[in-house]
Amino acid sequence: MDTTQSLRTRRLSDFKTTLADRIIVIDGAGGTVFQDHALVEDNFRAERFSNTGIDLRGNYDILNLTQPSLVSSVHESYIKAGADIITTNTFSSTQIAQSEYQMDEHVQEMNYVGASLAYEVVRLAEERDGRVRWVAGSLGPTNKTASMASDVNNPGQRDVSFNELKSAYEMAALGLLEGGVDILLLETITDTLNAKAAIVGIENAKNKIGLAAEIAPLIISGTVIDQSGRTLSGQTLQAFWISLRHANAVAFGLNCSLGHSGMKRHIAELSRLIPVPTIAYPNAGLPNEFGEYDESPEEMSGALKEWAEESLLNIVGSCCGSNPEHTRAIVDAVRGLKPRPLVAENLSSLSLAGLDVLHI
Ligand SMILES: [Zn+2]
């Protein structure tokens, strides 16, 4: 695969030109499509992990190694739906998340193969119709948090350290970068300190393989879980932005969260604040009593069309509970609508962020 620096530079420059020109659509959830296949334990294991001592069912990232053609077919279905950005099936492919399945030693390969599968589907689609798409390497939040205690009786206790997170993200990023991703998607951020560790880990990975810092830039996407508009670790959205703005993200925004109805005012706030493109890909509504998301493609795309008409969006898509039909509806809804114009940032000479922002 040709993943030389010049090819990467050209693909990235196409991405930035397109961002200035129109609203870009990112694909939807992989999990929803995998669930339609009613996979059983043997499907997750395949021959390779048939003797493993722990159940792998539900570990969708292991499918990169055990059911690669299924993963490719999910990517292909999003290409057919019209997505511009295809996200790798690597949300939980960190040593930290995979240690739950005793699969941590396979993490770099899971990321490499995950990136290669998505890149190949994109490459073939481009060959067919000449239209450029981009591969975003998904890096999820892990299942541990560096800034909060999991034991309420011991506020100083942490399940994971900054350095452990940094190394885990470095290894994941190495696999994704070597597999040819165009962008790294640091998504569903609940803890800003985890994200900061990821940023250092990613920098280290790029240094290790001699990739310039500006190649494979970050898209940073947090999640808010209540109407206060604070992240799970307690920051306001502006504090969240100030804490991570040094990473030079090519887009910044929110995903998952409370569905579109709970996310809109937060995206509106970010779109007033930040001088970079916004990204928004909410869940398909809120989970019902069975834990399923049932917002229809029409409902969701109708709402997101309004966001676009109000100039809130540069990149848009859908998260948990969505399928290629949601993507197709979103593509149709935002077609021809102008992307959000970038705003100048109104900061004083020194802006600091803890839970809130302090301008000096
Ligand atoms: Zn989600």
Distance 33 CA to ligand 1 centre (A): 14
pLDDT at 208 over 90: yes
CA–centroid distance, residue 282 to ligand 1 (Å): 7
Ligand 1 center to 320 CA (angstroms): 4
Expressed in angstroms and rounded, the spacing between residue 207 Cα and the centre of ligand 1 is 31
Q: Quote the tokens at residue 210.
A: 């001699």
Are 215 and 231 in contact by the 8 Å Cβ rule? The answer is: no
Phi, psi for 244 (deg, rounded to 5): -120, 5
275 Cα–ligand 1 center, Å: 25
Q: How confident is the model at residue 3 (pLDDT cuts 50, 70, 90)?
A: low
The mean per-residue pLDDT over the stretch 41-45 comes to 97
pTM to 2 decimal places:
0.96
Give the domain range for residue 102: 5-359
- Give residue-wise pLDDT tens across range 63-91: 999 999 999 999 999 999 999 999 999 99
CATH number of residue 132's parent domain? 3.20.20.330
Domain count, the chain: 1
User: Which pLDDT score is estimated for 104?
Assistant: 95
Q: Are 186 and 198 in contact (CB under 8 A)?
A: yes
Q: Are 116 and 166 in contact (CB under 8 A)?
A: no
Cα 285 to averaged position of ligand 1 atoms, centre (Å): 10
Give the residue-averaged pLDDT of 122-137: 97
Query: CA-CA distance, 283 to 45, in Å (whole number)?
Result: 29
- Give the pairing type, strands 351-353 and 357-359: antiparallel
pLDDT interval class at 250 (50, 70, 90) = very high
Per-residue pLDDT, 349: 79
